[in-house]
Structures are given as C-alpha cells and as structure tokens.
A = this chain, B = another copy of it.
Amino acid sequence: MARVVVHVMPKAEILDPQGQAVHRALGRIGVTGVADVRQGKRFELELDGEVSDAQLDELAATLLANTVIEDYEILREGEQ
C-alpha cells in the first residue's frame, strides 16, 4: 500500500512558541548545542486507491495546513 507523508511547519517568519518552549527545556536536561527548535505536524496517509498530485495538494492546503502561517511538503513513499 502506498503511503503519502505531509509535513506542515510554521513559516520561517512566524513565531513558534511550542518550539521555543522545547528549546528552553533543553537546558533542564543538560543539552547544549541546539540553536533552534521548530515544531510542526506530520501526517501519514495510507492509500488504497488513486489519489492525484492535485488532490494531495488540495487536501494539504485545505485540511492539513493553515497556509497563512504554515508551509507544507508532500512526499510520496512506496509504490504507486
């Protein structure tokens, strides 16, 4: 079965309070060497039929990402 992965990340110019909270917490467990943390979403779609690139783009832009503040990336994995 083919899989499609969609990454949704806050745009570079958008503040990311969740990522910043993780970044601050790193000090508590003694981890230095991390300059920045960004937190986004990962969607894994298991396909059992044909889904076109245009449909994937539409569903990512409509359902998965808020394109005002987030960028998305669509990756097809496995056989079509």
Contacts and interface: CB of A to CB of B under 8 A. Distances in A.
A45 B49 contact: no
Nearest to A56: B31
Contacts of A50: 33
For chain A, the bracket of interface size reads 35 or more
Contact of A19 (B35, B40, B43): B43
Interface string A27-66: 0011111111111111111111111000100110011100
Contact of A33 (B8, B22, B39, B47): B47
The 10 closest A-B pairs by CB, nearest first: A33-B49, A35-B48, A42-B42, A36-B46, A33-B51, A38-B44, A40-B42, A35-B46, A31-B55, A34-B45
